[in-house]
Amino acid sequence: MKNQWYKNAVIYQIYPRSFKDGNGDGIGDIKGIISQIDYLSQLGIDAIWFSPMYPSPNADYGYDISDYTAINPEFGTMEEFELMVKLLHERGIRVLMDLVINHTSDKHRWFEQSRQSRDNPYRNYYYWADGKGRNGKRPPNNWTSFFLGRAWQYDENTKQWYLHLFDKNQPDLNYFNPQVMREIQQILRFWLNKGVDGFRCDVITLLAKTKGLPNGFPKIALVGSEHYIDGTRMEELLEQLQQVLREYDAFTVGESVFITVPKALRYTTEGNEYLTTVFAFDQVSADNYFGVKQLVRKFSLRRLKKSVGVWQHGLYGKSWNTLFWENHDQPRIVGRYCSATLHRSEGAKMLATVLMTLSGTPFVYQGQELGATSPAFDNLDDYRDVETFRSYATLKKVFGKRGAMKRIKYCSRDNARTPMQWNSDRNAGFTDGDETWIKVNPNYTEINVRSQTLEADSVLNYYRKLIKLRKSDPAFVYGTYTDCMPRSKHIWAYLRRSEYGTLAVVCNFANKNVKFCPPKQMTEPGEYQAVTSDYADSPAALGKTILRPYEAIVYRLKS
């Protein structure tokens, strides 16, 4: 396989609103990010993906963009952005922007023009259609929104409906109009000329809707999804993006909805890449039904191992995986895949061990390197996320108020969006101001950067160690994957084999002691010696042992 920078890289995601406030207004900003560049550099990361920094009315906190070629004044100025890019590049850290081009804000000038009249020049930038019924007051088709509810909004001014696969304030762009793609290509050039190194492409596989927007098959979870996920024109549209991206050798990672290995290979096969990589969400779905996080069920290690195995085997040698536990849309992984109370630190380190020893590029979301937990606010008024409110309204009808709130506390996107916990001072050191845009997680006095920097065995320092190991030993990066105990409910034991050596990774996903006997695949001739572990006194050589709660050990086969 080609040895390209992103394969050896660890990428860090920053949600700017919640990373660090530099001016005391309670909202994270570019000045705050610049003030923590030393911290980011010391972590050892190679690139940063920034969630949207563009002007936005914040109906979806940045994912409803009103101007693609400016910086949100809440975050700072274009000059500050350019300085940040310069400083990060000086540290060898690449910059990835969030490219949100399935939809705009309804406050974007294109849409404001579009809704003026049916013959406006911008009308065809979006999907407008007559409604059904005698008075046209029923939606044009049966498509549903990813935020639950119908995917159409009626406009009284022009007596038509517009399509929004997300919030009503996020109208979908119409890529049957070639002028829309020309506009997007200009936006790409604008940022690439400012030194941006690539893009995370938001819900990119939704761009190609079926012509005519027909009704969806009514028995599938998202009605209409067969007409707006992975459409037949996706390669055509992605190739038009690549006409610009290839000029700059820009990296892309595509957020892909309900992606499968064959579909991923359709976009990312080496030598015929429409996207450099894609995000698949199977690995964060081991505690829900059908990949829908609101449909919570008990975590299953077997389910997790099975889904990871599908992607490790399916892409290796043909394409490149991405690895992640968290992002701005996912609740914290600690508390989902391991306990947030008993042995929290060991559980967080165990999950870090898995993340850094599989094939693919690891993505670390801000605070994950501390073992941050979801705040699980009890009061709905403490949440800010539009998806949370829409989900609650729907869940309440099915599960009642108490059942709906229980699921919101577990799965809300705001669980990952509370301010970064820098120290144990007021407001977790996130701001010098009196208030924060969303409440701080109450456990900031226990979990924060300052305390973990001083603790040699902290989660933070363990992440730093793993990142350093991954950079120094290509056996952590390359190699086939073999699950040696697929039926175990508690132990994840796997081999990574490559020309650079063999690693044996053993993890106890139980919050209790579990007996471990090396499986046959790990008893080949030779001696396995420990490279790292989340307990200071783990066995130095691979053999029979009692694995303690969330104990994780990486062994290397002596050559």
- Concatenate the DSSP letters of all residues of 159-172 into one string: TEEEE-SS-TTSPB
Q: Are the C-beta atoms of 175 and 104 separated by less than 8 Å? A: no
Helix ranges (DSSP H) in 146-233 = 178-192
Q: Report the 3 state secondary structure along 33-72.
A: HHHCHHHHHHHCCCEEEECCCCCCCCCCCCCCCCCCCCCC
Q: Is 172 a catalytic residue?
A: no
User: d(Cα 3, Cα 9) in Å, to the nearest integer?
Assistant: 11
User: d(Cα 244, Cα 246) in Å, to the nearest integer?
Assistant: 6
Cα distance from N-terminal residue to C-terminal residue, the chain? 23
Placement of tokens 């922007």 in the chain: 97
User: d(Cα 150, Cα 343) in Å, to the nearest integer?
Assistant: 43
Q: Is 255 a catalytic residue?
A: yes
Q: Report the 3 state secondary structure along 305-350.
A: HHHHHHHHHHHECCECCEEECCCCCCCCCECCCECCCCCHHHHHHH
User: d(Cα 553, Cα 339) in Å, to the nearest integer?
Assistant: 19
Comparing CA positions, the residue from 428, 462, 447, 454 lying closest to residue 536 is 462
Which of 29, 106, 230, 255 is flagged as catalytic?
Answer: 255
User: d(Cα 285, Cα 143) in Å, to the nearest integer?
Assistant: 24
Sign of dihedral through CA atoms 85, 469, 549, 299? positive
Residue burial 205-233, b: 16+ Cβ < 10 Å; e: rest: bbbbbeeebeebeeeeebbbbebbbbbee
Q: Are the C-beta atoms of 150 and 144 separated by less than 8 Å? A: yes
- Burial group, residue 23, by CB count within 10 angstroms (0-12, 13-18, 19+): middle
Question: What does each C-alpha distance from 162 to 63, 177, 228 come to in angstroms?
Answer: 18, 15, 15
Which of 29, 202, 287, 551 is flagged as catalytic?
Answer: 202
Q: 201: which strand partners? A: 99, 254
Question: What does each C-alpha distance from 477 to 181, 310, 356, 504 come to in angstroms?
Answer: 36, 18, 8, 13
User: d(Cα 110, Cα 66) in Å, to the nearest integer?
Assistant: 9
User: d(Cα 241, Cα 202) in Å, to the nearest integer?
Assistant: 14
Residues identified as active-site: 202, 255
